[in-house]
A and B are shown apart, each in its own frame.
Chain A
Amino acid sequence: MKNENLIQYIYGIADNALILGQRLSELCGHGPSLETDIAMTNIALDLLGQTRSYFQYVAQLSGDNKTEDDIAFLRTERQYKNVLLVEQPNTHFGYVITRQFLFDVFHFLLLQELQNSKDEMLAAIAKKAIKEVSYHQRFSSDWIKRLGDGTEESHQKVQEAVNDLWKYTDELFHMTGDDVKTEELGIGINVALLKERYYQKVSEVLEEASLTIPEMKWFQKGGKQGIHSEHMGYILSDLQYMQRTYPNMKW
């Protein structure tokens, strides 16, 4: 298929925004305070807005009358290329914030580079998105500090989340075949090169929050190849429910 490497490359970026946006949407109306509820919904809105920009571009690239919704709702689980981190559940607010923080730091570094992509559309989306993501990163870093250095209970809860989610961070820096091919063309980013800056930034914030950086040998991977956790099927059954139940209709 035409542009297949580029399309797959974009899935690798856009599916993270889609699935994390979907996860955050579950929380709307259930936040610990009205202010945090509104802020988290804002982040979800930003991510879903970015998703739409990417998928509209994919629709244009694939040139077979596909719409953004076909792409978002009608792929099979193995065709979604998001990392395992973003599909992890909203176990409690500590997990929500830690998942967000571990993703935001990566997302910011990625977009910083993507702004210089030779693909003009991707560069333009990245320029717009980075403004939003710089706010996300500030929001989640601030909350990591509040929870880490708040009460004993909050410290213990957020530390538990950091320990549990840490194993999903390494995957962020794995290069897929499509990453390599698009990077060669000056379109994609070599995420492996972001790794050092990532762990440095994450460690700074965790230290300031008086949290312990986990020492871990074994990491999880698979999302980038479409091999997801057991959570993913349930996310998709909500996400795809209407499109699967009432196929080929306009909403």
Chain B
Amino acid sequence: MSEKDVKNLEELFEQKIARDEKIEPKDWMPEKYRQTHIRQISQHAHSEIVGMLPEGNWITRAPSLRRKVALLAKVQDEAGHGLYLYSACETLGISRDELYGQLHTGKAKYSSIFNYPTITWADIGAIGWLVDGAAIINQVPLCSTSYGPYARAMIRVCKEESFHQRQGYEIMTTLANGTPEQKALAQDALNRWWWPSLMMLGPTDAESVHTEQSMKWKLKRKTNDELRQQFIDQTVPQADLIGLTVPDPDLKWNEETGHYDFGEIDWDEFWQVVKGHGPCNKERLSARVNAWENGEWVRDAAMAYAKKQEDKGLKKAM
């Protein structure tokens, strides 16, 4: 292809995006667009399956049968999200095995929030309320992103996430309205999950390396700081409503801006966890690697069996 051809294709591509048309797997796309999407979609898929671990930690200890079943179903939904997202990513010409390889070697990232431990039952409420709440804010704009398979996967993901968020808030409400011990569990969980949830919306705009390009491709519609403000504005009244206190002494409603002002985020902690030194980075990654390695003989058996069945079918046909 000549340079001129590429330039034409690029122009057509840009026009399509400007008209809000979807880019589909077989359409021409710039290599950088492909790579950026592989990075983001796989990071998202990895976050779903690593995210199963901190919540999975409480399934066997859930306090009631109703909560146990709901949590099990929720964690299963996350596996389902992982499945659609890996499939969306595969349309960009990379296999699920390769993507797992990137996760297992630490080359690919996943959401840092999952490197925090779930130490009480209330953490399950806090994760649903705050972590899924922040995830929705990040993800709703992606339902109209330019890459078709990703946008379609996100529509389904968002529906389920908003259900999870309500479920989490309902756990917190029950605890907050419960005995003093239960209320203390809820407050403690909010104290521990609040700041990491704010960090989930990404580094400040000044530090974010991908924002500008991603905005252009509609892979991002708002900046990290805008999303964070939206999350805070939405969540603080929810905490007030159930009588919990957001652990930020600088948090204050600002009449002039119509938003909450909030305190300084500890970005050193953010980078420490992103770089692999959070409380559970090692445990999460090794749980994934173990599941994969211990499952190898099972996957091999399934492949070998399928091959034998196919050969038998061929023999019969001949």
Whether chains A and B associate is yes
Q: Residues of A at under 8 Å CB distance from B?
A: 22, 25-26, 28-38, 41-42, 44-45, 48-49, 51-52, 55, 68-69, 72-73, 92-93, 145-147, 149-151, 153-154, 157, 238-239, 241-243, 246, 249-251
**B76 adjacent to chain A (CB < 8 Å):** yes
Does A38 contact B83, Cβ atoms closer than 8 Å?
A: yes
Please encode chain B, from 245 to 285, with 1 for each CB lying within 8 Å of some chain A CB and 0 for all others: 00000000000000000000000000000000000000000
Residues of B17-36 whose CB lies within 8 A of A: none
Return chain A residues, CB-CB under 8 Å to B3.
Answer: none
Is B52's beta carbon under 8 Å from chain A?
Answer: yes
Q: Is B121 an interface residue (CB 8 A)?
A: yes
Contacting residue for B295 out of A25, A31, A153, CB 8 A? A31
Q: Among A41, A45, A146, A243, which residue has its beta carbon within 8 angstroms of that of B63? A: A243
Contacts between chains A and B (CB distance < 8 A), count: 133
Q: Is the CB of A42 within 8 A of B76?
A: yes
Identify whether the interface residues of B are mostly helix, strand, loop, or mixed. Answer: helix
Contacts of B63 in A (CB 8 A): 242-243, 246, 249, 251
**Assuming A55-B65, A241-B61, is B174 touching A93 (CB within 8 A)?**
no
B305 x A149 contact (CB < 8 A): yes
Closest Cβ–Cβ distance, residue A92 to chain B (whole Å)? 7
Expressed in whole angstroms, the minimum distance between the Cβ of A212 and any Cβ of chain B is: 17
Check B68–A25 contact: CB distance below 8 A.
Answer: yes
Indicate which residue in A68, A150, A249 contacts B65 across the interface (CB closer than 8 Å): A68
- Contact (Cβ within 8 A) B49 A150: no
CB neighbours (8 Å) of A150 from chain B are 300-305
Cβ-defined contact, A69 with B65, below 8 A: yes
A-B contact pairs, 29 of them (CB 8 A): A25-B72, A26-B59, A28-B56, A29-B52, A30-B56, A30-B290, A30-B291, A31-B295, A33-B295, A34-B49, A37-B79, A38-B83, A41-B72, A45-B73, A45-B76, A48-B65, A55-B65, A146-B301, A149-B305, A150-B300, A150-B302, A151-B297, A154-B297, A154-B300, A238-B61, A243-B63, A249-B178, A249-B182, A251-B171
Quick one: which of B64, B83, B298 has the most chain A CB within 10 A?
B298
Kindly list chain B residues whose C-beta atoms are within 8 Å of the C-beta of A55.
65
Q: Give 13 A-B pairs besides A52-B65, A250-B174 with Cβ atoms closer than 8 angstroms.
A: A34-B49, A35-B83, A36-B298, A41-B79, A44-B72, A45-B76, A68-B65, A147-B298, A241-B61, A246-B179, A249-B63, A249-B179, A251-B174
The distance from the CB of A146 to the nearest CB of chain B, in whole angstroms, is: 4
Contact B53 A29 (CB under 8 A): yes
Residue from B80, B179, B297, B299 whose CB has the most chain A CB atoms within 10 Å: B297
B181 interface residue (CB < 8 Å to A): yes
User: In this assembly, does B153 line the interface, its C-beta being within 8 Å of a C-beta of chain A?
Assistant: no
Query: B62 near A: Cβ within 8 Å?
Result: yes
List residues of B (214-247) whose CB comes within 8 Å of A's CBs: none
Q: State whether the Cβ of B287 lies closer than 8 Å to any Cβ in chain A.
A: yes
Instruction: Give min CB distance, A149 to chain B, whole Å.
Output: 6
Question: Which of these, A26, A32, A34, A41, contacts B75 with CB under 8 Å?
Answer: A41
Query: Which of B53, B181, B291 is within 8 Å of A31, CB to CB?
Result: B291
Q: Which 7 A-B pairs have the closest CB atoms?
A: A32-B295, A150-B301, A154-B301, A242-B63, A29-B52, A29-B56, A32-B298
Smallest CB gap from A149: residue in B: B305
Closest-by-CB residue of A relative to B179 is A249
**Cα separation A93 to B304 with both chains bound (whole Å):** 17
CA distance A55 to B68 in the complex (A): 15
B301 adjacent to A28 (CB under 8 Å): no
Chain A's closest residue to B56 (CB) is A29
**Chain B residues within 8 Å of A151, by CB:** 297, 300-301, 304
Which residue of chain B has its CB nearest to the CB of A49?
Answer: B69
